Amino acid sequence: MSNAIAEVRSQLMTMGSEFGKVLPDHVTIEKFQRVTLTALQRSPDLLACDRKSLFESVMACAQDGLIPDGREAALTKFGNKVAYLPMVAGILKKVRQSGELSTITAQVVYEADQFRYWIDDQGEHLDHHPEIIGDPGQPKAVYAMARTTDGGVYIEVLRMADIQKIKAASRGGTIWNQWQDQMMKKSAIRRLAKRLPMSTDVESVISRDDQFYPYQDTPKQATKAVEALTVTKADIVDPDTGEVTELNVVETEETNEGELF
């Protein structure tokens, strides 16, 4: 294992100039390399994973301007590969830096909490009083709430039934078990983000979790040569809702390549 960490340390040093091209001004190359190395030393099982996926994940983290300290982002095992996982604090940091929202938060609601959510002619409202003294109990909901710079309030509340559907659709079951609160909050943020003004770089950070869900984002156009096609079925899973949509898959006799429509 000492040889593995030495090899990775050497490669991280070699990649310094590449990190410098993508890291924001407030994150130095040295700090990013040091935090990354510390994260790998604390999770030595990552060193046994596919090395290419490891360095690709580290570079993706740098491109998003986050550090893998377990708070802003994390490097985690996904099968035999390393996956980069933006954490809630990192996502909220990116959103705040964009200047498109004045505030944004995500919280888990527990059984002992006092919680109300309602909609009237004035818009969406939420009142949450967490239990901070006694046993909070089990989680019963999660929400994300944002206020735009013009004063608009947007709220997304997910019940545990919604969370269970999203979790069931994920290929990253161990990641959900390890980071359940984080994944619950991120699910609410992802759903809310669809209704918010977001820059491209913020959207890319929020959508990093797409790798854990077996779904197609942009289906291809079907060919017009209907007489040469064979129609079968495919399930497409939305990572934000856990809903499964059955789509027709078109295969040409000539190429036998599936296309969705």
pLDDT of residue 217: 40
- pLDDT averaged over every residue in the chain: 81
Band the pLDDT of 243: cuts 50, 70, 90: low
| Residue of 152, 80, 139, 72 lying closest to 111 (CA atoms) | 139
Domains of the chain by residue range: 2-86, 89-203, 226-260
Per-residue confidence band for 222, with pLDDT thresholds at 50, 70 and 90: very low
Rg (CA), the chain: 21
Q: Which residues contact 163 (CB under 8 A, 6 or more apart)?
A: 142, 184, 187
Q: What is the pLDDT of residue 66?
A: 94
CB 57 within 8 A of CB 85: no
Cα distances (angstroms) measured from residue 173 to each of 110, 169, 179, 260 = 22, 9, 10, 27
Strands ordered across the beta sheet of 229-237: 229-237, 244-252, 258-260
Task: Tell me the whole-structure pTM to 2 decimals.
Answer: 0.71
Q: Which two tokens stand for residue 125?
A: 């409202």
Question: How many degrees, rounded to 5, is the angle at CA 99 between CA 72 and CA 21?
Answer: 55
Model pLDDT for residues 152-180, shown as the tens digit of each residue = 899 999 999 999 998 888 776 678 888 89
